A and B are shown apart, each in its own frame.
Chain A
Amino acid sequence: MAKLKGAIVIDIERCKGCEVCVGACPESVITMAKGVNGKGYHFAEPTGDNCTGCTNCAVVCPDGVITVYRVKVTV
């Protein structure tokens, strides 16, 4: 059986902390950092390892700061 496994890279210095990606993530694997970036925004960061690489977060990110990688794994 094939399963998709993904990972996202967030350009935290460009993230404005709008949180739109958080609600868009079907696996709830994006959270807002407690810390802030150089502009003072609480930036988004990946959490957990259930990312499927669906690209929802990247597609909806107004600032285009999310890059998505995905592999197919067989279980």
Chain B
Amino acid sequence: MKELRLMKGNEAVAEAAIRAGADAYFGYPITPQSEVLEYLMAEKPYERTGMVVLQAESEVAAINMCYGGASCGKKVMTSSSSPGISLKMEGISYMAGAELPCLIVNVVRGGPGLGTIQPSQGDYFQATKGGGHGDYRMIVFTPASVQEMCDFVPLGFDLAFKYRNPVMILSDGVIGQMMEKVELFEQQPRMTHEETIKAAPWATTGRTKDRERNIITSLDLDPSKQEKHVMKLNDKYNEIEANEVRYEALQCEDADYVITAFGSSARICQKAIDIARAEGIKVGLVRPITVWPFPKAVFKELSKKVKGILVVEMNLGQMIEDVKLAVDCKIPVEHYGRTGGILPSPDEVVENLKKKIIGG
């Protein structure tokens, strides 16, 4: 049965966590995402499903609580905003190294430093190029609606377990704070102990007589073994790149030009292409839904038929690097962005399309 509700993005992510059968959420307050923890505490998921919810002493502690829970094969998640995500990066690197499933939500605000509490997309590099130390990747979803904030939670958990890897929902202050209609999925049961052992035979569920002890670690002092481990991770990342790319292409069939943007920027650009098309400019929109793995192939294909691409981001030019790599300098790729918590307007986008791509 369809259940429709008007919710904030932050609330939707929290409700989706309960419904996805999450075993635990560990968080720490930071604007603009504190509603996630507030919603969960108000909902008493420990009564609804037995889910553990805890306000940790820091973002560092919260991500390490996730590490402890994930190591037991539990469905765990945390959320924060940019400065807090920087603190979590150590834990995310350890999780990638130890191959632990975890869902991390980043409701991005402007930086660097304490920056601003207003929306930004300045954490693209951090999310897609590592952020933490070492050779690792995590799957990064970029919701453009409250509905997607909800839907990417169960999907994120599924992929986190499928690949034993951290998954991030890279949102921003617009999507987190905005209220929209959401169609909620039905409550899924939490995994039983037996299901956990089946889904995560590697987990520290207790060393029974029928198996060797399970060890969760990211350490190997033997270089040959460590290299082998990193190469194994790399194989996994290649598999993810082959299977998990997601994007949306709008009005690209007849397009002379393409605008690309993710998350809330993509919503603004949707309006921008309507304005441009009304003026007779044939422009399409590509919205990467996963920014790692990045939808390289669609850009490579488009580079054979369109004259240029404008990358619109709420930062000074981060995703543009991936777009440029994908089109391999075949066509012009330019950037338009606003920072400091300011959103680009549709008119600005059209103006920059004309100035930087069409007239360029």
Are A and B in direct contact (Cβ within 8 Å)? no
Chain A residues in contact with chain B, CB under 8 A? Answer: none
Chain B residues in contact with chain A, CB under 8 A? Answer: none
